[in-house]
Structure 1
Amino acid sequence: MCGIVGYIGTQTATEILISGLERLEYRGYDSAGVATVSEGKIQCVKAKGKLYNLREKLEREVNHSQIGIGHTRWATHGKPEEHNAHPHLDTLEGIAVVQNGIIENYRELREELIQQGTEFTSETDTEVIPHLIAQCLHGSDLSLLDAVRQTIPRLKGAFAIAVISAERPYELIVARQQAPIILGFGQGEFFCASDITALLPHTRAVLSLDNGEMARMTPLGVEIYSFAGDRLSKFPRTLDWNPVQVEKQGFRHYMLKEIYEQPAVVRTCLESYLNPNWHADEQPDFSPVNLGLTAHLCDNLEHIQILACGTSWHASLVGKYLLEQLANIPTTVDYASEFRYSPKPLIPNTLTIGVTQSGETADTIAALEAERARRENLEPKLQAKLLGITNRPESTLAQVVDRLINTQAGIEIGVAATKTFVAQVMGFYFLALDLAYRRQTLSNQRIGEIIEGLRGIPPQIEKIIETQADYIEELAHDFTQETEDFIFIGRGINFPIALEGALKLKEISYIHAEAYPAGEMKHGPIALLDHKVPVVAIAMPGSVYEKVISNAQEAKARDARLIGVTSAMNAQEAAHTFNDVLTVPGVEELISPILAVVPLQMLAYHIAAIKGLDVDQPRNLAKSVTVE
């Protein structure tokens, strides 16, 4: 979950490194550092905390080096102190290494090195790597590439590393094993980074290393090798992304910008996947949704299992509802981190779906790989069928699954997911409609009604933002001082929205928040309620509306302040129950989750912003969780 940047070329390296790290700071911001080679020595500068601390230190330095590596850290091994910050050096300070991931056997390696006389200056797992590389180089005529290649087999775990050497100032070595690293190609200069966002200002030509690959970067070019030492032939691809996508564009925070981008994201999804030639009244013989799914994945399904974490898990719960109610397929949703250690019994004709915003979530990737492995060589009905839902089609997920649904959300910088959640939910609507059409579980007329409802979502989100933003910001002031707990409740398809609302609030405001099915309040959680605990109820018109209102009344009887998210058509009636009403345009219950989540995102945002917290980079979190 850390960020790596590397550069070799004709420009001064430090500014490229620090600006690249600033674009990766969402991956970790406990500490940071850069290392460069100048006059036969490695110059390493580190700082605790946010990147501006490192930038201030670098501004006091004079460094014209044209090669270097940088790192922004999300702490795993060792506290977020300067001595634990990357890059890490060997004893003679001739090798510098940055790493993303975890070296699982670092304790054994560390003990072995200590017995050989090596002194360590940090508590990190990474520090063993430069010492091991230095051992390979000592007294040998090995190249830096070969020294790194000989070191890698000793490392167990998931990692991406970048290495420079004082004695070899014209090469930078990069290696990947289960953690992302991307190469960038410029004019006489080359880059590496954990994410494309760091490369956008410099190049559109990029190449992702696959697992078990390494690269040697010099001013003359880039060479790709397997860990076995075989030279590989790979070609860059050209990005169609614009650097403007990763700018705030006048918004105070990235999160607010990304909330406002949601109508455009939904429009892009609709344009990408709905077949414009499909009309319900013409009885077409092709699907209304074009996901490019094969018969192998879709035919004769008896069961769907979804693996996800965090916000993606909440989107998957909405997906479960849609797949069961529209396509009539029994569906389970599991935490990916739990599934790989307690997999479900094998069910024939099972489609396994991995959902991850970044496409790099370690738990989800590992769970999918484990599912494929345990179904390998079984009879056809039990063999793995893997589908991925992600915002990053170039990610590791694409190498693991049979097919991807690209959620088309564009780059999301804010750590708390907003537009990518909505895009994932849209992906599930499309999948459920496609399968419902294939299985004939819905009439064409009903499919057409749902599609028309989805087409209306973008202007409806715009209306929520236009009419509710000021009111929600004003309301947020009431919860920034003494409020320590929030309860969110919902039922049916909107219970996952209650979960997502609670997660957004706790992630960025640090207010404890929990979500419950509304009917479960009286079975225990109601004991928590008093006038200090606000309750947010998602009460959208539909099959469970009256039940949610009744459950909210139970909370009101315990003096809780009630905030209702409901249809504008019900606002007057809802005012009799709720102290505060957040309205969304009237839609059928099946479509309502995408609208209901928007006021909850805005409420969480404004509470955190008014408290003066770092909305985009909340404490202890990182955007792409690439460690278990």
Structure 2
Amino acid sequence: MCGIVGYIGTQGAIEILVSGLEKLEYRGYDSAGVATIVEGEIHSVRAKGKLYNLRTKLEKETNISQIGIGHTRWATHGKPEEYNAHPHRDNKGRFAVVQNGIVENYQELKQELISKGHEFISDTDTEVIPHLIAEYYNPESNDPFMDAVNKAVTRLDGAFAIGVLCADFPDELIVARQSAPLTIGFGQGEFFCASDVTALVHHTNTVLSLDNGEIARLTPLGVEIYDFTGKRLRKNPRTLDWSPVTVEKQGYRHFMLKEIHEQPSVVRTCLEAYINPDWHSQNSDEENPITLNLKPEIYEDLEHIQIVACGTSWHASLVGKYLLEQIAQIPTFVQYASEYRYAPSPMMRNTITIGVTQSGETADTIAALEMERQRRSSCDRTYQARILGITNRPESTLGGMVDQVINTYAGIEIGVAATKTFVAQVIAFYILALDLAGRRKTITPSRMEEILKGLLQLPTQIEQIIHSEEPKIRDLAHQFPDTKDFIFLGRGINFPIALEGALKLKEISYIHAEGYPAGEMKHGPIALLDAHVPVVAIAMGGSVYEKVISNAQEAKARDARLIGVLPQNHHEDMFQDTLIVPEVDEILSPILAVIPLQLLSYYIASMRGLDVDQPRNLAKSVTVE
């Protein structure tokens, strides 16, 4: 949600902080601020609104401080006003704190601190942290700054990552993490911290992610890491394989458009990672062409699969359910992670639980998986947890808590509205379904070969769609300047694509849109239709093609404008507009059907002059409940 950055070293901190916040602006949108130490005093500058407003304020100042923290806010407690912006300070102005997360017991702590004479000026939960640190601060102790921060964080309930400055310690930056992401970057005589490595890759590719319950001291001499009990820890940094180029727009107007265009490469990379390059030369009756390298106990006596996810990842999981049931013949259940936490399914024997999250930090998904592990921990072997993660960030919180990760290899995604990470998650489900099908012998070798060959053709087919349909879609987008509602229809494996198409349009264009199973239109939603409500029908070739066409006819009879997503050579006169994709096996059609819907949403939002990459009220990684 919110984005935090920190720096200590030999350079001026302000520009590093602000440029880091610019890389994290997708995490917050309503206010921003920085704090530095200048001549033994905390100096803080905050601004309401976009980061541009903060930069404008800072340009009027001269600040050569070489230590600082910064924050871009996504409001949870308190309105988006400057007085609620981070950093927050104690009453004496000796401590400054930035936070990503939520302090769940802040009201209790606030009342305790007020009774001791502390005065609060914001509505936020974060403000209790600098006051709490000040309350515990004892200049006479052996390590007063670290001791005070450590005592304070042990009082906090919830998920949080914080960065802290103390005016009395101008050469120390302290950071701590509990269930919210925080990464430290290592430079030459300088150190960085951030909520996401996107803020770090311009400065270093050597990073270390803090784990839950860890606190670190950053000085110009190095980094010390402790757990919340005060025990010193030894951890090794890792080297990123990302370059600064991966977080630039590279000539595209928006990151979202760039990421739509990156999808052919993403699909190729993911397929190359998991499909044995020699599969076609092997004896297909004996060899599994998929190489997932999952532990044998994951597969043993497998009877059920349950999936927990949120948002776009939930839609990808619905496609996954179809694949796992139809290809691998395994009963599969998909639940919203936020609901599963409070109404879990009855425990089933020999069950894999899969958490799907592009960031690996989605709070509801992480909590659902942790709950599942705990409730199965005392069960016998057949009920014990087998937990997988599907994510774009194996180094994330998810990666550290599951038994194994299926990496989607999508590369960094900046646009808040997921595009390439959705496609990569769906590809991961194809790989898992085929892996299980090969082991369980639920499809014939010839059918396995058909699907694999079709998968390998998808990157080229996506490129074809972008080349042929993007200009048409760009023009089509201009025909909906005042549209207030859209309906998306799909059946079978493409019903989740109708949901995803509607979500994309809602997220970035602020047009109300709903996705429905096409056969359900006449059971209620058809009452919404008239000449002002466009209907997008996903009519891919296959077993339900004629059914979708029939359902679209019903919408046509109510004067709705029809837009068809159709395979080549399936032109239907009833559609006012058609978005054409290559002919493909029905089971592979979701990957192609979603591409024109992504482009349509993008160009409608762009035509309206909206902030495509940072839509209102949304954040890229939802790290709070």
Aligned to 2:212: 211
Q: Which residue of 1 aligns with 2:589?
A: 592
The equivalent of 1:160 in structure 2 is 161
2-side partners of 1:254 and 1:89: how far apart?
Answer: 35
Aligned-pair identity in percent equals: 71
**Aligned counterparts of 1:610 and 1:100: Cα–Cα separation in 2:** 33
After superposition, the CA RMSD in angstroms is 0.9
Q: In the TM superposition, what whole-angstrom CA distance separates every residue of 1:199-241 from its partner, at most 9, and x where no partner exists?
A: 0011111001111111001111100101000111111111111
1:246 equivalent in structure 2: 247
Question: Structure 2 vs 1, CA of residues 281 and 148 (structure 1 numbering), >3 Å: closer, same or farther?
Answer: closer
Q: Does 1:227 align with 2:228?
A: yes
**Corresponding residue of 2:423:** 422
Matched residue, 1:73: 73
CA distance in 1 between counterparts of 2:282 and 2:549 reads 38
Deviation at 1:125, TM superposition (A): 0.2
Equivalent residue number for residue 21 of structure 1: 21
In 1: Cα distance, 2:313 partner to 2:235 partner: 32
Residues 201-600 of structure 1 correspond to what in structure 2 (within 5 A)? 201-279=202-280, 282-283=283-284, 285-480=286-481, 482-571=482-571, 574=572, 576-600=573-597
Query: Structure 1 residues 475, 225: CA separation in 2 closer, same or farther (over 3 Å shift)?
Result: same
Q: Which amino acid aligns with 1:25?
A: E
Q: Distance in 2 between matches of 1:298 and 1:577?
A: 48
Deviation at 1:612, TM superposition (A): 0.2
Shift of the alpha carbon at 1:286? 2.9
Query: What displacement does 1:282 show?
Result: 2.3
Counterpart mapping for 1:28-67 below 5 A: 28-67=28-67
Counterpart for residue 97 of structure 2: 97
SS in 2 for 1:17: helix
Q: Letter of the aligned partner of 2:621 in structure 1?
A: S
**Secondary structure of the structure 2 residue equivalent to 1:479:** coil
Separation in 1 of the partners of 2:438 and 2:484? 47
Question: Distance between the aligned counterparts of 2:406 and 2:29, measured in 1?
Answer: 30
Secondary structure of 2:154's aligned partner: helix
Offset of residue 299 of structure 1: 2.1
Deviation string for 1:236-269 (max 9, x for gaps)? 1111111100000000000000000000000101
**Partner SS, residue 279 of structure 2:** coil
Q: How many residues align?
A: 624
Structure 2 vs 1, CA of residues 366 and 536 (structure 1 numbering), >3 Å: closer, same or farther?
Answer: same
| Structure 2 residues without counterparts, runs of 5 or longer | none
Kindly state the Cα deviation for residue 284 of structure 1 after the two structures are TM-superposed: 5.1
Shift of 1:279: 2.4
Indicate the larger mover: 27-36 or 282-291: 282-291
Query: CA separation in 1, counterparts of 2:410 and 2:332?
Result: 25
Work out the CA distance in 2 between the residues paired with 1:419 and 1:139.
51
d(CA) in 1 for partners of 2:367 and 2:19?
A: 32
Contact kept in structure 2, 1:326 and 1:432, CA below 8 Å: yes
Return the offset for 1:140: 4.2
Q: What amino acid does structure 1 have at the position aligned with 2:11?
A: Q
* 1:283 Cα deviation after fit: 2.9
Amino acid at match of 2:480: F
Counterpart of 1:11 in 2: which secondary structure?
Answer: coil
Q: Match of 1:569, SS?
A: coil
The aligned residue for residue 146 of structure 1 is 147
Q: Is the 8 A contact 1:274 1:290 kept in 2?
A: yes
Greater shift after overlay, 114-123 or 499-508? 114-123
Shift of the alpha carbon at 1:138? 4.7
- Matched to 1:613, the amino acid is L
Separation of aligned partners in 2, 1:302 and 1:178? 32
Q: Tell me the distance in 2 between the aligned counterparts of 1:298 and 1:613.
A: 47
Q: Distance in 1 between matches of 2:285 and 2:234?
A: 45
Q: Paired residue for 2:605?
A: 608
Rounded to whole Å, the distance in 1 between the matches of 2:16 and 2:5 is 9
TM-score for both structures, normalised by structure 2: 0.99
CA distance in 2, matches of 1:143, 1:462: 59
Residue identity opposite 1:21 in structure 2: L
- Preserved contact between residue 499 and residue 516 of structure 2 (Cα < 8 Å): yes
Distance 2:295 2:169 in 1: 50
1:91-145 residue CA offsets vs partner (Å, 9 max, x unmatched)? 0011000001100000111111122221111100000000000011156434211
> Structure 2 CA distance, aligned partners of 1:581 and 1:291?
38
Q: Secondary structure at the match of 2:327?
A: helix
User: Which amino acid letter does the alignment assign opposite residue 10 of structure 1?
Assistant: T
Q: Quick check: 1:280–1:447 contact (8 Å CA) kept in 2?
A: no
Q: Determine the C-alpha separation between the residues in 1 that align with 2:87 and 2:288.
A: 52
Cα drift, residue 285 of structure 1: 2.7
Offset of 1:152 from its aligned partner? 1.2
In structure 1, what is the equivalent of residue 82 of structure 2? 82
Match of 1:177 in 2: 178
SS, match of residue 456 in structure 1: helix
SS for the counterpart of 2:464 is helix
Residue aligned with 2:292, SS: coil
Cα distance, 1:450 vs. partner? Answer: 0.1
Structure 2: distance between partners of 1:98 and 1:133: 13
Summarize deviations over 1:265-305 as a string: whole Å, max 9, x none. Answer: 00101111100121277235332111111121112111100
Structure 1: which amino acid aligns with 2:354?
I
Q: Distance in 2 between matches of 1:494 and 1:75?
A: 35
Distance 2:111 2:138 in 1: 20
Out of 596, 615, 619, the position equivalent to 1:618 is 615
Q: Does 1:187 align with 2:188?
A: yes
> What is aligned with 2:7?
7
Amino acid of the residue matched to residue 611 of structure 1?
R
Q: Tell me the alpha carbon deviations over residues 412-457 of structure 1, each in whole angstroms, 9 at most, x when there is no partner.
A: 0000000000000000000000000000001111111000000110
- 2:138 and 2:144 in contact (8 A); partners too: no
Q: Secondary structure at the match of 2:432?
A: helix
CA contact (8 A) 1:358 1:624 kept: yes
Report if the CA contact (8 A) 2:27-2:72 is conserved. Answer: yes
8 Å CA contact 2:138–2:148 kept in 1: the answer is no
Say whether the 8 Å CA contact 1:281–1:445 is kept in structure 2. no
Contact 2:537 2:552 in 1 (8 A): yes
